[in-house]
Amino acid sequence: MPITDVTRDLDALTLTVVAEFPVPVQRLWDAYTDPRQIEKFWGPPTFPATFTRHDAHAGGRSDYVMTGPDGERHGGYWEWLSVDAPRSFEVVDGFAEADGRPNTDLPTTRARFAFEPAGAGSRVTCVSTFGSLAELEQLVAMGMEEGMREAMGQIDAVVADLASFAAGRGTQTQLLDDTRVRITRIIRGSVEDVWRAHHEPALIQRWMRGPDGWVMPVCELASEVGGTFRQEWETDEGADRFGFTGTLLESTPPYREVSTEQMIGTDGPGTVNELTLTPVEGGTLLALVITYPDAATRDAVLATGMAEGMEAGYARLDAELQAA
């Protein structure tokens, strides 16, 4: 077990958990800030977590659901208060209703995670601060302490798995639930550079062309929240023109952007696309969560080879930033 100490301080209203791992600080930090990795250990073994949102920056938010063996679901969220990568971050940790809204019937805690070298490896210290002694006792009685022991006991396997989350694996697709899919790719560039590459039309037209043999003649971007965008593609010969339009719903440079998307000339509901950029070892983790109107639409779109086309573009982006 990696946990070296668990301490309750009833006067300070804190629960402190310390754990050590035989990996560098950056590797341990990435395990917490990469949604693909934290969902491998945040829930106890019998209640694995799925993170549908994970913004590792001040002012960001994380949403997750832990699902039990009988389908029982428990939601939670983080409100990110501060981030000092890769040394510490602080969040408000709370429970959520089935629709993602905070569950105000249960208490929240303020949790600070500190990362530091420890011998040949690294140490994470998590200090959870409660609003009152009654809240501390309530959450401990609900199994918080044991849940943290079980969850952190899984981190060893995650940080030892260097291949699954490293740069160079290409574009990966993960089904999150009945309507959502997460597309991830590590781009070898800074968060600022990857953000810029999504907001300069001329640069977008160089890399977001899909498979070889296609070009993007139209790239009109939304200049502000509430504005609309339009992007169109066609073959090198000028045939088979298609495109998408949508509305920019949220923008938090250079970390997060949310927009709607609808294929031009079609009726019915489109998608909601949530782009999140997170600095990790090797570059920037690009995570795109797409919400479809239903599972059938999601599966039909994925079956078109969408992920392969996106990989062709991301490979060009990777090369573009390396050459800059």
Count of CA atoms in the C-beta half-sphere (13 A) of 23: 21
Q: Judge whether 6 and 17 are in contact, CB under 8 Å.
A: yes
Q: Give the angle subtended at the CA of 227 by the CAs of 222 and 231, to the nearest 5°.
A: 45
Give residues with Cβ within 8 angstroms of 261, minimum separation 6.
Answer: 244, 245, 246, 270, 271, 272, 273
- Beta pairing, strands 271-280 & 109-118: unpaired
Encode pLDDT of 62-98 as tens digits. 999 999 999 899 999 999 999 999 999 999 999 999 8
Distance of alpha carbon 35 from alpha carbon 55, whole angstroms: 9
**Residue pLDDT, tens place only, 147-192:** 888 888 899 999 988 778 877 789 999 999 999 999 999 999 999 9
Q: Tell whether 166 is covered by a domain.
A: no
Rounded mean pLDDT, 212-237: 96
Asked which of 160, 195, 221 is the last residue of a domain, the reply is 160
Number of domains the chain is built from: 2
Q: Is residue 165 part of a domain?
A: no
- pLDDT given for residue 75 in this prediction: 95
DSSP-based three-state secondary structure for 299: helix
Q: What is the pLDDT of residue 265?
A: 92
**C-alpha neighbours within 13 Å on the C-beta side of residue 83:** 19
pLDDT confidence bin for 269, thresholds 50/70/90: confident
Same domain, 214 and 112: no
Same domain, 100 and 188: no
Structural domain of residue 40, as residue ranges? 3-160
Listed residue (53, 43, 49, 47) closest to 78, CA to CA: 53
User: Over 60: is that where the pLDDT of 291 sits?
Assistant: yes
User: Does residue 1 have a pLDDT over 60?
Assistant: no
Where do runs of H (alpha helix) occur along 34-116? 35-38
Residues 69 and 152 in one domain: yes
Is 167 a member of any domain? no
Residue whose entry in the numeric block shows the structure tokens 């260097």:
162
The stretch 253-262 carries a mean pLDDT of: 98
156 Cβ neighbours under 8 A, 6+ residues apart = 2, 21
**Rounded distance between C-alpha atoms, residue 132 and residue 202, angstroms:** 55
Position with higher pLDDT, 71 vs 53: 53
Inside any domain, residue 136: yes
The answer to pTM > 0.85 is: yes
Nearest to 93 by CA among 134, 43, 138, 128: 128
| CATH code for the domain of 113 | 3.30.530.20
Element (H, E) at 249: strand 242-252
Residues 186 and 241 in one domain: yes
Whether residues 213 and 319 share a domain: the answer is yes
Are 145 and 228 contained in the same domain?
A: no
Mean pLDDT (the chain, rounded)? 94
Residue where a domain terminates, one of 160, 187, 209: 160
Q: Give yes or no: residues 142 and 194 share one domain.
A: no
Same domain flag for 150 and 235: no
Which residue, 114, 133, 160, sits at the end of a domain? Answer: 160
Note the pLDDT of residue 63: 97
Spatial CA neighbour of 158 closest among 323, 6, 264, 23: 23
Measure the CA–CA gap between 67 and 304, rounded to whole angstroms: 30
User: Alpha-carbon distance 33 to 27, whole Å?
Assistant: 10
* Burial of 85 (C-beta count, 10 Å sphere; 0-12/13-18/19+): middle
Same domain, 177 and 205: yes
Dist. CA 283–CA 281, nearest whole Å: 6
Ramachandran angles phi, psi of 146, nearest 5°: -65, -35
Alpha-carbon span 221 to 256, nearest angstrom:
16
**Domain shared by 154 and 209, yes or no:** no
Q: How many CB atoms lie within 10 A of CB 91?
A: 22
Question: What CA dihedral angle connects 254, 255, 261 and 264, to 10 degrees?
Answer: 30
| pLDDT of res. 163 | 74
211 pLDDT more than 90: no
